[in-house]
């Protein structure tokens, strides 16, 4: 009797939490819409020539899906060559009760399935999560970039709370600095919002909701952690007054990406499983985002001056 009652109580609690979270998201979405109408931001709209080579650098299997699945799909639809380079094997995940070797194999299968559903080529670099050296990381990322020779790199950044995301971003910056590659780098958000302080490219992916959902479903082992990832797209859509889902990026030259990753690491907060505390993720690290924004604006002014000479 008591086990059944306890199970019923837990189910009711989960349902109440889910309902409360949806109401909290509706409230924050309304606040976002009002803020967007007041601030009137003017980022550029995403576009593609249809003949670009594009790579998404994913610290873990699923980060590419969280950050820019819709945009990767759109690149492929436009005729671009899309690649996903998955840096680590994600084997430290504790989902499903698998050991590290089994989890690594599971996540590789998932990453390849997700890439196929995006129409992308999967480059499995497969460094053992948490146990790789910077030298090995540089070598793996350098090989991938040399093979792909991308014009556009969708990249993680130090605007993040996760040490592995930040570490991959730092290694990518080092490779770009040393190698002479000069792509446009577009930062994408994984679970820490870039916020309008940094977003300067927006992409309405509302018509791709179903394909995005299919890509995310490629990661059944990460179902719990992926449950909240679409909230950033929905908040951005409300803020910019565009459809139902928007992916936002911070585009910059590779030289600026390298310079920004020589700064000390800031402190940030990720979205939680529920929407109650989402504004805290927007507020944490605001001073660091402002510093990045000022440096980016100074870089833009310098480029205008140099172009006019």
State pLDDT tens for residues 290-306.
999 999 888 877 666 55
- Whether the per-residue pLDDT at 16 is higher than 70: the answer is no
Domain count, the chain: 1
DSSP classification of residue 185? E
- Whether the per-residue pLDDT at 17 is higher than 60: the answer is no
- Say if 80 falls within a structural domain: yes
- Say if 15 falls within a structural domain: no
pLDDT at 12: 34
- Nearest CA to 64 out of 178, 194, 154 is that of 154
CATH of the domain at 285: 3.40.50.10320
Domain of 275 in residue numbering reads as 48-300
State the angle between helix axes of 209-216 and 100-118 in degrees (0 to 180), rounded to the nearest 10.
160
Which pair of tokens denotes residue 116? 């196929």
Name the CA radius of gyration of the chain, rounded: 20
- Nearest CA to 262 out of 132, 188, 158 is that of 158
Instruction: Kindly report, residue by residue over 112-146, the tens digit of the pLDDT.
Output: 999 999 999 999 999 999 999 999 999 999 999 99
- Say if 234 falls within a structural domain: yes
pLDDT at 14: 44
Q: Which residue has the higher pLDDT, 183 or 17?
A: 183
Neighbours of 121 (CB within 10 A): 16
Report the C-alpha gap between 270 and 217 in whole angstroms: 21
Please give the distance of CA 80 from its chain centroid, rounded to a whole number.
20
pLDDT averaged over the chain?
90
State the angle between helix axes of 163-179 and 134-148 in degrees (0 to 180), rounded to the nearest 10.
60
Mean pLDDT of 67-87: 98
pLDDT band of residue 4 (cuts 50, 70, 90) is: low
- Say if 222 falls within a structural domain: yes
- Nearest CA to 60 out of 219, 206, 254 is that of 219
pLDDT at 302: 64
Contacts of 99 (CB under 8 A, 6+ apart): none
- Say if 42 falls within a structural domain: no
- Say if 309 falls within a structural domain: no
- Whether the per-residue pLDDT at 10 is higher than 60: the answer is no
Query: pLDDT over 90 for what percent of the chain?
Result: 77
pLDDT at 270: 92
Q: What is the side-by-side order of every strand in the sheet holding 152-155?
A: 44-45, 201-204, 246-253, 184-188, 152-155, 53-58, 81-88, 121-127
- Say if 115 falls within a structural domain: yes
Neighbours of 45 (CB within 10 A): 11
Query: pLDDT over 70 for what percent of the chain?
Result: 91
Report the C-alpha gap between 272 and 70 in whole angstroms: 22
**CB-count burial class (<10 Å; 0-12, 13-18, 19+) for 19:** exposed
- Say if 75 falls within a structural domain: yes
Which pair of tokens denotes residue 52? 């670009």
């Amino acid at each position: 009797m008591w086990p059944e009652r306890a199970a019923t109580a837990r189910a009711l609690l989960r349902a109440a939490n889910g309902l409360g979270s949806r109401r909290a998201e509706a409230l924050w979405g309304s606040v976002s819409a009002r803020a967007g109408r007041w601030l009137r931001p003017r980022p550029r709209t995403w576009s593609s020539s249809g003949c670009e080579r594009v790579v998404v650098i994913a610290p873990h299997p699923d980060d590419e899906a969280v950050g820019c699945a819709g945009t990767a799909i759109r690149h492929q639809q436009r005729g671009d060559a899309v690649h996903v380079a998955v840096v680590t094997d994600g084997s430290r995940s504790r989902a499903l009760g698998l050991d590290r070797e089994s989890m690594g194999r599971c996540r590789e299968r998932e990453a390849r399935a997700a890439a196929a559903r995006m129409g992308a080529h999967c480059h499995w670099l497969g460094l053992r999560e948490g146990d790789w050296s910077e030298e090995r990381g540089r070598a793996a990322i350098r090989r991938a970039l040399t093979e792909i020779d991308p014009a556009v790199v969708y990249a993680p950044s130090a605007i993040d709370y996760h040490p592995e995301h930040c570490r991959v971003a730092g290694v990518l910056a080092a490779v770009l600095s040393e190698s002479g590659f000069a792509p446009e780098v577009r930062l994408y958000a994984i679970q820490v919002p870039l916020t309008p302080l940094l977003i300067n490219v927006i992409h309405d992916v509302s018509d791709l909701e179903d394909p995005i959902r299919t890509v995310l479903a490629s990661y059944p082992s990460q179902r719990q952690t992926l449950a909240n990832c679409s909230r950033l797209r929905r908040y951005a859509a409300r803020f910019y007054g565009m459809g139902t889902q928007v992916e936002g990026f911070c585009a910059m030259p590779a030289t600026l990406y390298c310079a920004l990753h020589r700064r000390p690491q800031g402190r940030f907060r990720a979205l939680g499983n529920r929407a109650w505390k989402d504004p805290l993720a927007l507020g944490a690290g605001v001073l660091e985002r402002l510093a990045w924004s000022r440096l980016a604006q100074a870089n833009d002014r310098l480029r205008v001056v140099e172009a006019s000479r």
